Structure 1
Amino acid sequence: MVAAFGLLTRLPMPFTPPRPQGVWAWPLVGLGVSALAVGLGALALAAGLAPPLVAVLVMVAQAALTGALHEDGLTDCADGFWGGHDRARRLEIMKDSRIGSYGAVALMLVMLARWSAL
């Protein structure tokens, strides 16, 4: 469980090398991250913040807690899927640390969808 939190979040954890046996804990890490972010959102709502701002705050909290791991993966996938013409080029694009236009568009659309869902 500690290895899963160390791998999937930016929360300070004692180093434990990730092992395949720890995959069962990944959904629990997601639940924990979401619970922290929603708890922060509930406090913000109780403090009188407008719901659209609370939604942004929850999204920022999730990205901060996870180090934007999923957002990075989404942009890499979108850039590779739409940016390359053959398998080798797609893999090369996905390994590149820079974000391309397809990744930027995918990230923007997913963030807008998340915001509207919250």
Structure 2
Amino acid sequence: MKKFFCGLLIIALTGCASQIMQGYVGKDITDAVLDYGPPTNVLELPDGRVAFQWNRSSSYTAPTTTNIYGYGNYATATTYGGGTTFYECLYTLFAKPNAQKSYTVVGFKEPTLMCE
């Protein structure tokens, strides 16, 4: 049942980061920099666009559950779950130079599902 609800939550959250990134399309890259700080990478692409990338690290620690089964003077304990999962997310906005000597966002690369 827990897996069902986790899957449902992932489906519900799918598109969140993409929707935020879509909101920058047509705006100056300065808006994203003001919201998320300076990009981790800036790459000039062969087609004239510039890729601005932000790298965010996250972790999740799962709780543990211990079941104790006993009979008389004997008992066994079984522990489930636990552990920490680390992951990194790379967010990329593509931009083109504009007349204000800055860059206008023209698109983005969709992040992986874990990063949505």
The verdict on a shared fold, with TM-score over 0.5 as the criterion, is: no
Structure having the larger proportion of residues in helix:
1
TM-score (norm 1): 0.29
TM-score (norm 2): 0.29
Higher relative contact order (Cα pairs below 8 Å, separated by 6+ residues): 2
Structure having the larger proportion of residues in strand:
2
